[in-house]
Amino acid sequence: MTSTLLAETTLPLGLNFFEILLEMFNLAILVVGVRFLLYKPVKKYMEKRSEEYKKAEEESEQKRKEAEDLKLQYEKVLEESRQNAITCSKEATASAMIQAEEIVENAKTEAERILQKAEEELSHKELMQKEELSNSVSELALDMASKILQREIKTEDNDIVINNLIERWKN
């Protein structure tokens, strides 16, 4: 009854309260329908994706930090290794120098020893040769004297002549 009255009420520009209510009801149904069928699922999907991106970004950020930490660690290890290598190299150089010096020293000692031995041998040989030469010279002198004198020469004569010769030769 009321609705009929409202619907049939004549107002300017066709104003009708019942129609307004119907239109409001129509709009309410439409809003609810659009909200649950379109707006909310699309928004939910966008939020879910945004959440996933956020999560992925956080993970990536965390991994980046981890990678940076690892990089720092590796750089530290690398620096330590470099320092160790430098130290090792220095030590090796020093050791090699010492070794080389030792080798040179040894060589010098050995050379000196060889030289001394050679000198000793030479001196010994010289003495030996001198002795041999002395003997041969005495024999030679004896022969020469015998032939010159054509007589028996006594040992005493020999000795005098030889000793003279030797003395002269020595000088």
Partner 1 sequence: MYSMLSGKFADFLRNQYREAFSGGMSDKVSEALEPELVNLFGLKVNPSMFTAFGLTVFILLVCVIVRIFIIPKFQKRPKGMQIVLEGIVGYFDRSATSELHRHGSFVGPYVFTAAAFIALGTLVELIGIRPAFGSINACFAFGFTTFLVINICGIREKKLWGRAKRYVPNIINILTDISVPFSLSLRLFGSIMSGFIITELLYAQLFTSIVLPAFVAVITTLFHAAIQSYLFATLTVMFVREAVE
Q: Which of 5, 22, 86, 94 binds partner 1 (CB under 8 A)?
A: 22
Q: Is 42 in the site for partner 1 (CB under 8 A)?
A: yes
**In whole angstroms, what is the distance from residue 115 CA to residue 109 CA?**
10
Long-range contacts of 122-125 (CB under 8 A, 24+ apart): none
Q: Which of 5, 19, 117, 169 binds partner 1 (CB under 8 A)?
A: 19
Q: Which of 1, 2, 5, 14 binds partner 1 (CB under 8 A)?
A: 14
**Block residue for tokens 């649950």:** 36
CB of 12 to partner 1, least distance (A): 9
- Helical H runs in 17-39? 17-34
- For residue 118, give both structure tokens: 């050679």
Taking each helix axis as running N to C, give the angle between helix 155-170 and helix 40-149, from 0 to 180 degrees, rounded to the nearest 10.
Answer: 140
Q: Is 41 in the site for partner 1 (CB under 8 A)?
A: yes
Which stretches of the chain bind partner 1, using CB under 8 A?
3-4, 7-8, 13-16, 18-24, 26-31, 33-35, 37-43, 45-46, 49, 52
